[in-house]
Amino acid sequence: MNNTKRGRLVVVSGPSGVGKGTVLKYVLDRDDFVYSVSATTRSPREGEVDGVNYFFITREKFENMISGGEFIEYAEYNGNYYGTPKFFVEKMLSEGKNVILEIEVKGAMQVKRIVPEATFVFIAPESIEILEARLRGRGTEQNDVIAGRLSIAEREIRSCLMYDYIVINRDGGAEDCAEDIVAAVKAEGMKPCNVYTSICDFFK
Amino acid sequence: MNNTKRGRLVVVSGPSGVGKGTVLKYVLDRDDFVYSVSATTRSPREGEVDGVNYFFITREKFENMISGGEFIEYAEYNGNYYGTPKFFVEKMLSEGKNVILEIEVKGAMQVKRIVPEATFVFIAPESIEILEARLRGRGTEQNDVIAGRLSIAEREIRSCLMYDYIVINRDGGAEDCAEDIVAAVKAEGMKPCNVYTSICDFFK
């Protein structure tokens, strides 16, 4: 019998420029958190390793997996499929790891339908002005590209109320923000509905 | 204008012998947590300080406060009143402190009616057998007293499902248990309904 406490699926969204990467790097420094590895039909780029960066699979295999209901969510971008295979998430959860799935709002709502017991976390900026300054600070994009991103960001941010937890990534606060996410996942595990296996003897 | 983030009222229950005192000592080591000071009509014992251990007040004053609805909860034991005055809790919350209110199950349900937004935490033992061993380990009580306490404990433990969070105080785990409580309080503050003042600008 496997006595390992099952991990939790943690779905994380947040607008472009909010600093998700830095925050999640701190979360993933912890032994009990792993990143969800996606499957894709695009070719590996130099240095990318199968099973680490992505599971690289053929279009035929991907479509078979879609038919078989083997994805938690999937989407097609630029002619390639990207998706979250159930088998990987399930394996990690059963080993007691919390699995971080970083995904945009629409994908998150797709996951909500299939894995309602997942924990949904939204990383928000302190303000739209600060988000705009960050996007401009990268200095690599044209004004109209930034305006487009901001407009998407504003729409995404308004979806934050659909998430279980909203963490605010303040300037220089990525580490605090990571701790907030860890606390939220811990707290989820302490809700009566999730403690049941530890306390069921009390109700015999 | 007061920009301090308001604290949370944290109601903590748990059966006799579960180790609440040790766990809460660790929680209260943190600057942002304070213990709720009760009012009582009993006389101060040697070394007890008014406003620290209790607010020592007259029976007349206590009954006036009852009439005025100035208690979050109160009860009478052995001919003396004990109660949690709203003014103290309110002052601490407005100063940004999380206020710990340690109280048995019935009192907690009284608080739930008056302060539904409080966070309710139940400290449970690993098992009834372990709780019994702890109660016997004190070595100060007769068998029938222990049996009575155990029976109350079992009934209280079955109320744990009414709490927001259940933390299990494992042997030697009081500090972990305290961290669980801190994480739960943190997570409460990240729920969309509680983040509103930080994010309302996004919905203008």
**pLDDT score, position B108:** 94
ipTM (interface predicted TM): 0.86
* Residue spans of chain A under pLDDT 70: 1-3
Are A199 and B166 an interchain contact pair (Cβ–Cβ within 8 Å)? yes
Are B161 and A192 an interchain contact pair (Cβ–Cβ within 8 Å)? yes
Are B187 and A165 an interchain contact pair (Cβ–Cβ within 8 Å)? yes
**CA A194 remoteness from chain centre:** 21
* Residue spans of chain B under pLDDT 50: 1
Nearest residue of B to residue A187 by CA position?
B184
Residue to substitute from B151, B165, B181, B191, interface A, most A β-carbons within 10 A: B165
**pLDDT score, position A65:** 97
Are B163 and A192 an interchain contact pair (Cβ–Cβ within 8 Å)? yes
CB contacts, 8 Å: B130 with chain A:
none
Distance CA B153, CA A17 (A): 52
Report DSSP letters for B43-85, one per residue.
PPPTT--BTTTEEE--HHHHHHHHHTT-EEEEEEETTEEEEEE
What are the Cα distances from residue B60, in Å, to A94, A119, B41, B56?
Answer: 61, 51, 9, 12
Residue to substitute from B186, B191, B196, interface A, most A β-carbons within 10 A: B186
* A15-35 residue pLDDT tens: 989 999 999 999 999 999 999
Nearest residue of A to residue B187 by CA position?
A184
Distance CA B102, CA B35 (A): 8
CB contacts, 8 Å: B199 with chain A:
124, 157, 160, 166, 168
**pLDDT score, position B1:** 45
CB contacts, 8 Å: A157 with chain B:
199, 202
| Closest partner CB to A158 (pick from B164, B198, B202) | B202
CB contacts, 8 Å: B198 with chain A:
126, 168
Residue at A196: amino acid letter: Y
CB contacts, 8 Å: B180 with chain A:
186, 190
Domains of chain B: 9-36+98-203 (3.40.50.300)
Distance from CA of A168 to the nearest CA of B (A): 8
> Is residue B71 within 8 Å of residue B83, measured between CB atoms?
yes
